[in-house]
Amino acid sequence: MNKIMARILQEAGVPELLEVLAERLSPTDLQSLLLEVYRQRAQRVTPANLMRQYEHNRFVQPAQVRPQQLLALEQLAFSLLPAGFEAVELSPVCPLGASSALSTVDQNWVVTTVRNTEVCADSTSVLALECARRRREAYRQRARPAEDTRLCASQRLLRAQVFEGPVSFAHFRLLSLCTAGRDRGAYGFEVKALLEHLRFYIKLLESAQAQGYGLESVRVTLTAFNLAMFEALESGVLPPLAAEFPAVAFGFDQARESGRGYYVGAGLQVHARDLAGTEYFLVDGGFTDWTQRLLSNRKERLLTSGMGSERFLLCFGP
Based on the domain organization, do 29 and 172 belong to the same domain? no
**Domain-located, residue 51:** no
Based on the domain organization, do 11 and 88 belong to the same domain? no
**Domain-located, residue 30:** yes
Based on the domain organization, do 30 and 63 belong to the same domain? no
pLDDT at position 304 is 98
Based on the domain organization, do 81 and 218 belong to the same domain? yes
Point out the residues of the chain with pLDDT beneath 50.
none
Based on the domain organization, do 36 and 109 belong to the same domain? no
**Domain-located, residue 49:** no
Residue in 144, 85, 122, 81 with CA at minimum distance from that of residue 288: 122
Print the SS3 string covering the chain. Answer: CCHHHHHHHHHHCCCCHHHHHHHHCCHHHHHHHHHHHHHHHHHCCCHHHHHHHHHHCHHHCCCCCCHHHHHHHHHHHHHCCCCCCEECCCCCEEECCCCCCCCCCCHHHCCECCCCEEECCCHHHHHHHHHHHHHHHHHHHCCCCCCCEEEEEEEEEECCCCCCCCCCCCEEEEEEEEEEEECCCCCHHHHHHHHHHHHHHHHHHHHHHHCCCCEEEEEEEEECCCHHHHHHHHHHCHHHHHHHCCCCEEEECCCCCCCECCECCCEEEEEEEECCCCEEEEEEEEEECHHHHHHCCCCEEEEEEEEEHHHHHHHHCC
pLDDT at position 289 is 97
**Domain-located, residue 54:** no
pLDDT at position 167 is 62
Based on the domain organization, do 131 and 162 belong to the same domain? yes
Residue 20's φ and ψ, nearest 5 degrees, are: -60, -50
**Domain-located, residue 53:** no
pLDDT at position 103 is 86
Q: How many domains does the chain divide into?
A: 2
**Domain-located, residue 263:** yes
Based on the domain organization, do 257 and 309 belong to the same domain? yes
pLDDT at position 200 is 98
Q: Which residues constitute the domain of residue 18? A: 3-44
pLDDT at position 166 is 63
Per residue in 7-33, pLDDT (tens digit) is 888 888 888 888 888 899 999 999 999
pLDDT at position 169 is 79
CA distances from 219 to 245, 251, 270, 272 (A): 11, 8, 6, 6
Based on the domain organization, do 295 and 162 belong to the same domain? yes
**Domain-located, residue 133:** yes
pLDDT at position 1 is 64
**Domain-located, residue 86:** yes
Q: What is the CATH number of the domain that holds 140?
A: 3.30.930.10
Based on the domain organization, do 151 and 293 belong to the same domain? yes
pLDDT at position 165 is 66
Based on the domain organization, do 129 and 213 belong to the same domain? yes
pLDDT at position 2 is 80
Based on the domain organization, do 28 and 154 belong to the same domain? no
Based on the domain organization, do 148 and 278 belong to the same domain? yes
